Structure 1
């Protein structure tokens, strides 16, 4: 085998290894993105309609804590939706461009079958993305793909990138690309996090969030 063939084989092997490393090695998904200003006015708390905000939400030492019970009321009177306590990020609804949500999440043991983060807006579906906590602390894309396991009782970094123009999503957990999926339509989107009960949700549901950021692709 000639030296050129040896070089070609070495180059091919390097590309394969580089691809494997890049998909499993932590990185900073926010590179090339502009962080947008957020303050208290951008965090609208959605909660059971018959309760005070303080009964299902607290903000202490930089941590947003949200909880809900399966027997709670929905967001609005006579709404067919399940109970929730969520932060709806306002001021940055979008229909085009490349946008990113970053936050550090925490889910206590026992919380199960509940959505903890959403990219709202889809057609004919209501959402483009849902991050769901399943049994035993798994994080899943809706009810299908498992993104991570054994996530109870620890902080994790979540980055969700939505390219609205290309209708494409990327999901990073602790800086590692875990999932990609096509978008689900819709003409207007925004980010949410917290707890939104699903039909088979646990009796008590809780998630905590800190370091929440909204970013937009530069250029």
Structure 2
């Protein structure tokens, strides 16, 4: 699989080993209710694309003008020949983390017809997800329960998702509105990572688009 890097640029900040050199000196600031990233520091990471194993990556993933496009069709295979999970085309971010708040941020557009599909996850190395954002019938949910936004399909919106394994705090914002604040507990030392794209579907085709992807901690 190809490995890609997104460079999260901040003016006048030097990058060392994939993280901003000023990380250690940055003093925490109170979290703004309308700015999910306040008090956090932007960082860089790489990703690889998980896609139907019998197709080339380019058949389900493309980058056009800074927009990341990912789709699956009904009947697509899983990401490996032995998997028992459903079809997916997802950007799996490389960093694993087990403490401190980490936040994924992006502008997102979900194509009409995309339903029964997860578009973003905070996954563990193993079974379970701290965050599992999916669309169903035009609305956006976390897992199969909490409604995050209605009539969200077919238009660009801004999505932020954060998890802190140290405090177990889960937070999701839609268009800078806090849509969910809850807790998810795993044993200390459990490692988490970000994913975004399309996973599973109940229609004929699921497709999402992402731009301005940023990572923060």
Q: Report TM bin, short chain.
A: 0.7 to 0.9
Is residue 122–residue 128 contact of structure 1 (8 Å, CA) maintained in 2?
no
Gaps (5+ residues) in structure 2?
1-31
Structure 2 match to 1:143? 144
Task: Tell me the TM-score normalised to structure 2 length.
Answer: 0.81
Q: Distance in 2 between matches of 1:122 and 1:43?
A: 16
- Runs of 4+ residues over 4 Å off in structure 1: none
Is residue 165–residue 185 contact of structure 2 (8 Å, CA) maintained in 1?
no
Alignment partner of 1:195 out of 195, 198, 201 = 198
Alignment partner of 1:114 out of 114, 117, 139 = 117
Structure 1 match to 2:83? 79
Structure 2 match to 1:14? none
Gaps (5+ residues) in structure 1?
1-24
Q: Deviations over 1:32-88 (max 9, x none)?
A: 0100024xxx12100000100110000010000000012001011021000000001
Instruction: Name whichever structure is richer in helix by fraction.
Output: 1
Alignment of 1:1-219 (within 5 A): 27-38=34-45, 42-90=46-94, 92-121=95-124, 125-135=127-137, 137-185=138-186, 187-198=190-201, 201-216=202-217
Query: How far 1:127 moved relative to its partner?
Result: 1.4
Number of residue pairs the alignment of both structures matches: 184
Query: How far 1:31 moved relative to its partner?
Result: 0.7
Look at both structures and tell me which one has the larger radius of gyration over its CA atoms: 1
Q: Distance in 2 between matches of 1:79 and 1:52?
A: 17
Q: Distance in 2 between matches of 1:184 and 1:142?
A: 15
Task: Tell me the TM-score normalised to structure 1 length.
Answer: 0.80
Q: Distance in 1 between matches of 2:33 and 2:74?
A: 36
Query: How far 1:182 moved relative to its partner?
Result: 1.0
RMSD: 1.6
Q: Distance in 2 between matches of 1:184 and 1:209?
A: 29
Q: Distance in 2 between matches of 1:62 and 1:88?
A: 18
